[in-house]
Amino acid sequence: MKLAPFIALKLIAITLMVVTPLYLCIAEKPATEGTIDFEDEPTKKTPYESGQSEAIELFNSLLNEVQSGTATKHSAGPRVIRHLAGTYLYCSSKRGTCPAILDAILAVDISNASIAGSPSCPILEEFWSSYKKWEFDKREGYLRGVTASSAADSFTKNELPRYQKCQPTVARALTQEKSVRKADAVKALANGEFLLKQFKLKVPNVFAALGIDEGKNSTKPEDKKLKSNP
């Protein structure tokens, strides 16, 4: 009988050794046990939205660099070229002319040429090459026939050649004073960025508005008539 208290104490100690860790594990479990938190996944951009964002960023980033005197070389990938070409076509069809897009692209080429020390305009050349490859020039001709204007005709005859044959244009720009080049670049890039942002707000998709299937690399002018401005 004298062993009874000792045995009882031993049983209590063993019980505490087993129960206490279990209790602590339970206590350490988060209060949200039984619930699952789902983080909001970022919305995936469409190819059109990606091209649009990259085009805006191209003009915006170089604009900031030019203003601060820290310009670096910039390039334009296929999505950017595609978006700029579609926007130019849409803008030209609505306004008759759209030099703001061309001036902004030219400003990028001039900036790159200034850094490289030699006149070239690969971005604008790629723009025109793609514009023709996708047959946007034919569609523009069709639309110009519908919305012909003396201003558009004058622009095509007198102004457009310096954008299409851009290397001499870049060469002339490089002979200007740096302050003049900077002022011209700031104006062109700011206008180009503003125009792209305006279309982003007002036109959900310029290709859809033009009746162009984004899945195709080219489109014939007679496929679809130009849709009305949203």
Residue 222 within any structural domain of the chain: no
Of 126, 128, 127, 122, nearest to 109 by C-alpha is 122
Neighbours of 4 (CB within 10 A): 8
Residue 92 within any structural domain of the chain: yes
What is the C-alpha separation between 229 and 205, in angstroms, rounded?
11
Query: Is residue 9's pLDDT more than 90?
Result: no
Residue 229 within any structural domain of the chain: no
What is the C-alpha separation between 166 and 18, in angstroms, rounded?
84
Phi and psi angles of residue 137, each rounded to the nearest 5 degrees, phi first = -65, -35
DSSP state of 204: S
Query: Is residue 21's pLDDT more than 80?
Result: no
Structural domains in the chain (count): 1
Q: Write down the pLDDT at residue 230.
A: 37
Q: Write down the pLDDT at residue 148.
A: 58
Residue 18 within any structural domain of the chain: no
Of 220, 89, 206, nearest to 147 by C-alpha is 89
152 CA to centre of own chain: 28
Single pTM value for the model: 0.76
For tokens 């604008």, the residue is: 124
- pLDDT above 90: percentage of residues in the chain: 63
Neighbours of 21 (CB within 10 A): 10
For tokens 């954008």, the residue is: 163
Q: Write down the pLDDT at residue 147.
A: 55
For tokens 């700011």, the residue is: 190
Q: What is the 3-state secondary structure (H, E, C) of 45-94?
A: CCHHHHHHHHHHHHHHHHHHHHHHCCCCCCCCCHHHHHHHHHHHHHHHHH
Residue 115 within any structural domain of the chain: yes
- Residues 37-94 have pLDDT tens digits of 545 566 788 999 999 999 999 999 999 999 999 999 999 999 999 999 999 999 998 8
Q: Write down the pLDDT at residue 213.
A: 83
DSSP string, 135-171: THHHHHHHHHHHS--HHHHHHHHHTHHHHHSHHHHHH
Cβ burial, residue 162 (10 Å; 0-12/13-18/19+): middle
Residue 41 within any structural domain of the chain: no
Residue 84 within any structural domain of the chain: yes
> Is the distance from CB of 207 to CB of 48 less than 8 angstroms?
yes
Query: Is residue 100's pLDDT more than 90?
Result: yes
- Residues 158-206 have pLDDT tens digits of 999 999 999 999 999 999 999 999 999 999 999 999 999 999 999 999 9
Residue 73 within any structural domain of the chain: yes
Domain that holds residue 138: 48-210
How many CA atoms are closer than 13 Å to the CA of 106, on its beta-carbon side? 27
